[in-house]
Structure 1
Amino acid sequence: MYQTYSFREKSLLFSKIIFPILITQLGLFAMSFLDVMMSGRAGSYDVAGVAIGSSLWIPIYTGLSGILIAITPIVAQLIGGKRSSDVPNTVIQGLYLATIIPLFIFLIGALTLKPILNGMNLDSEVSRIAYHYLLSLSLGMVPLFMYSVLRSFMDALGQTKMTMFITLTSLPINALFNYLLIFGEFGFPRLGGVGAGYASAITYWCIFGIAVWMVAKQSPFKEYRIFGTFYRISIAKWKEILLIGVPIGFSIFFETSIFSAVTLLMSGYDTITIAAHQIALNFASFLYMIPLSISMGLTICVGYEIGAKRTIDAKQYSYMGLGLALIFAIITGIILVLFNDVIATMYSTDKEVIILAQHFLIYAIFFQLSDAIGAPIQGALRGYKDVNVTLVLSLVSFWIIGLPLGYLLATYTDFQAFGYWIGLSSGLTAGAILLFVRLTFIQRRYRTKFSNAVN
């Protein structure tokens, strides 16, 4: 990161930061996409099991790893405020937390996973595949969470190309082991959908190893000597990370888990409806990587500028990101209208599933427009370290407005399963409006705060 003095310079720097983030996010999502798609070629039970397993895993991972995202605004503000000597201890404390979080997941999973799957009234084979897919994937949880910390550190320095490189390196590794373990090629056991879980775990270990090497040996990371000093566990530093990270994590969890809740509620529909819903949801999540990447870029830029007490620059980055996200939302909306048949065919060969998925994809357009406002604003607010109100707004938008409205529309109107999508879109829209109001308030508060400090 460095200071910019014009709109052109800001646009260029912001583009350099968010483009690698976008490639990284698409790459990470592509791993899940490959799991589902390649499992689909192994059989309908396999793709259903992996889809159910992914729908349970993604909100848990994104929510808990969201706690570690706190490293990004903390480090960005330290660097912007010329306090780089405090960075190594922050990163190491984050790594300590990253080894503890998976232990909670193991414990909770051991107690609740089977009851949850049994409560979904799934076919016994689908339930078996989902359970063992998650079990095998869990072997890579510790390195995955530790990688999240190192990635947050690298991104906070504006070196998003490095994490892009790691992700692009991981894709062929994941695809290779998917091929070997799902289909049992070259003497490997044929594990079907379960093999996708083992492939992901292997990939997580690989990307963590690459990240450790980069942080230790490559500039500009090696100058911080992250692994050069032993730091004792610091409760004070953990508190700093958790006070910012827990609201971020829960906010992300409220957003991602809502879709798992809808999947559970839709278990009463026929298999075709569930499959079409999963297809549309998977592709909508794929498109969400665009506003999410812009959001992550804003956390870096706004955090850096606020650390340097440049409130006008922080505000300019915020609205720059918001405008860019809206442009992309319009483009993706046009793609969903024109090519929904092609998209649905990528996932399935069943004509009934394809036709119904096309209808679900149209509803996904409204997701894109709301996310184009809500996601970038959340990223900007994280740069300001304003996370508690965002947590409350996420809870209200999804669980108090979105899900109840969706349930009512799906249960008591002719919208049926589409009612859930209408409800969630309504929640997203309400959340986006409230987040915009919050952003303008925070911008005014920081401008007043720094002006008074100068005076």
Structure 2
Amino acid sequence: MSAGSLPAPAGERFGAMLGKILRHAWPVLVTQWAGIAFGVLDTAMTGHAGASDLAAMSLAVSIYLTIFVGLMGVVHALIPIIAQHFGAGRHAEVGRAWGQGVWLALGLSAAGGTLMLFPDAWLSFSGEVAPQVRQGVASYLHALVLALPAALMFRTLYALGTAVSRPKLVMAVNLGGVGLKALCNWLFIYGKFGLPAMGAAGAGLSSAIVYWSSLAAGLWLIRRDRYFDKFKLRLGKPDWPALRELLRLGLPMGGSYLVEVCAFTFMALLIAREGTHVSAGHQIVANLAALSYMMPMALGVASASLAAQAIGAGDARLAQRTGQAGLLLALAGAVLTAALLVLLRPWIVAAYTGNAPVAAVVMSLMPVIVLFHLADAMQCLNTYLLRAYKVAVVPLLIQVLALFLVGLVGGWWAGFGPGRGSLEPLRQLLAPQAPPGAGTMWIMAAIGLALSALLLHGWYRRVARRAVLAS
């Protein structure tokens, strides 16, 4: 064997693997930040249009995200499926799977759009809603019905680019979409150049224009990129066996997404019992947790995509080592994020609010957020790695147990229900200045995430080990 053909030392191989994951992850992270910017623009710009418009948009976005996130999770089943085809060199199957994903996105759009056409059914959970707010919610959601097909079809491009190690394509489109979103919001929310001032409805129309433009731009870029020629991307006819495979993996994935979103939604509803300042402080803390989550999620997407490629290539050991590298990066990133949250918390809180009572609530909950994020990062990575092996039902069951029953129901029981005060010694230890209910719910949420991370990691190790032994 010549010197040039000798395998690289194990340490270099692992180091190269870490670098490969990071190169794959950073465009995913930027893409997610760009997506968050859409919501920030809607909130900030609609807020200047009037209080009723802001209230309408906040309610409508909550409804839309509940629907969209669940459906998006189903479409994301394309990522491990396409990545395994790509790793195995089945390029024609990559194009075929993508086409079936487009059909799935269209079918899901019809179902989700139907749910959005009846906002009164959703608003019945919110009690009395002012007529102008109710009308704003309906107008915003009806505009987003037009956006949903484009948003879900664009997610098929996201899945394709991620699975075949071309995530920068979607990143470029999303960054361009942020600028277009700001312009369209300005035109339609405030009524510039003779257009009517549409308020919250204008923000919804703006989203529809941006999503359809992003879809067109993404398709145009893929058509011009010769890298995608070998996949022979095509829509084809609906293939029911292929669609069943997507649904078999996608439905539990969408369920997992919904469990996480609904847990935050119901936390907010329960914590609102402690008053406006506590509710506002909780929203800031929840936003911090969501921003912190973007890093492990990007690493999870990248690690799972590369692991799925290795699985498709028949290299179970490489898939296992890729998972180990991803877990190490996620742990290091989570520790760094936690350290920044601790060291910079006065400046972070000041950036969010100048209201002293709200700031005090946020400061009191920050120690729990550090623990919450560490657990959240590890449960996120293990969930994505299991999806690389097309394992989604067990993670869903674990998350229902840990996040919903232990975290949410347990938090309600100990914070507001029959067991109120039972966790007071632990709250006094971790967050002594925090409001009792909010502090208890965040502690139980962190415990639920930690339990989820442990159970998911145990199951992931079992799946990865069995794949190595079978290879």
Same-fold status (TM-score > 0.5): yes
Structure 2 counterparts to residues 234-253 of structure 1, below 5 A: 234-253=239-258
Letter in 2 for 1:335: L
Q: How does 1:234-273 map to 2 (within 5 A)?
A: 234-273=239-278
Name the residue aligned to 1:422: 443
What letter is aligned with 2:378? I
Alignment partner, residue 107 of structure 1: 114
Task: Report the Cα distance in structure 1 between the residues aligned to 2:186 and 2:370, rounded to whole angstroms.
Answer: 33
Question: 1:74 is aligned with what amino acid?
Answer: I
- The answer for the alignment partner of 1:138 in structure 2 is 145
Q: Deviations over 1:214-243 (max 9, x none)?
A: 22221211332213xx62211011011111
What residue number does 2:431 align with?
A: none
Matched, 1:309 2:314: yes
Deviation at 1:188, TM superposition (A): 3.4
Q: 1:195 aligns with which of 199, 202, 218?
A: 202
Are 2:379 and 2:453, in contact at CA under 8 Å, matched by a contact in 1?
Answer: yes
* Equivalent of 2:464 in 440, 443, 446: 443
Structure 1 segments, 4+ long, off by >6 Å, are none
The residue correspondences of 1:298-337 to structure 2 (distance < 5 A) are 298-337=303-342
1:21–1:164 Cα contact (<8 Å) kept: yes
- The answer to whether the aligner puts 1:291 opposite 2:288 as a matched pair is no
C-alpha distance in 2, partners of 1:199/1:279? 26
The count of residues paired between Structure 1 and Structure 2 equals 444
Deviations 1:285-311 (A, max 9, x none): 122111111111112111001111212
8 Å CA contact retained: 1:174, 1:200: yes
Moved more, 383-392 or 179-188: 179-188
Q: Deviations over 1:177-221 (max 9, x none)?
A: 222333334433333334322222221111111111122221211
| TM-score, normalising length: structure 2 | 0.88
- 1:203–1:285 CA distance, 2 compared to 1 (3 A): same
Cα distance, 1:361 vs structure 2: 4.4
Aligned mates of 1:52, 1:245 — CA distance in 2 = 27
Establish whether residue 378 from structure 1 lines up as the match of residue 383 from structure 2.
Answer: yes
Matched, 1:369 2:374: yes
Aligned partner of residue 417 in structure 1, secondary structure: helix
Q: Report the secondary structure of 2:179's partner residue.
A: helix
Measured in 1, the distance between the counterparts of 2:368 and 2:203 equals: 30
What code does the residue aligned with 1:308 have?
A
Among the aligned pairs, what percent are the same residue?
28
Match for residue 174 of structure 1 among 174, 178, 181: 181
SS at match of 2:117: helix
CA distance in 2: counterparts of 1:361 and 1:96, whole angstroms: 44
Deviations for 1:258-310, whole angstroms, at most 9, x for unmatched residues?
A: 11222333454433333332222123212211111111111211100111121
Q: Supply the distance in 1 between the matched residues of 2:266 and 2:316 (Cα, whole angstroms).
A: 39
**Residues 185 and 336 (structure 1), Cα distance of their counterparts in 2 relative to 1, 3 Å cut:** farther
Deviation at 1:419, TM superposition (A): 2.5
Residue pair 1:102, 1:142 contacting (<8 A) in 2 also = yes
Q: Distance in 1 between matches of 2:359 and 2:215?
A: 38
Structure 2 distance, partners of 1:135, 1:367, is: 36
1:219 alignment counterpart: 226
Assess, with a 3 A threshold, how the Cα gap between structure 1 residues 116 and 286 changes in structure 2: closer, same or farther: same
Structure whose CA Rg is larger: 2
2:67 equivalent to 1:60: yes
Structure 2 counterpart of 1:359: 364
**Could you tell me how far apart the structure 2 residues matched to 1:443 and 1:392 are?**
19
2:190 corresponds to 1:183: yes
Segments of 5+ residues of structure 2 without an aligned counterpart are 1-6, 422-434
Cα 1:426–1:44 shift into 2, 3 Å = farther
Contact 1:297 / 1:379 at 8 angstroms: preserved in 2? Answer: no
Cα pair 1:151 1:211 within 8 Å, conserved: no
* Partner residue in 2 for 1:120: 126
Q: TM-score, normalising length from structure 1?
A: 0.91
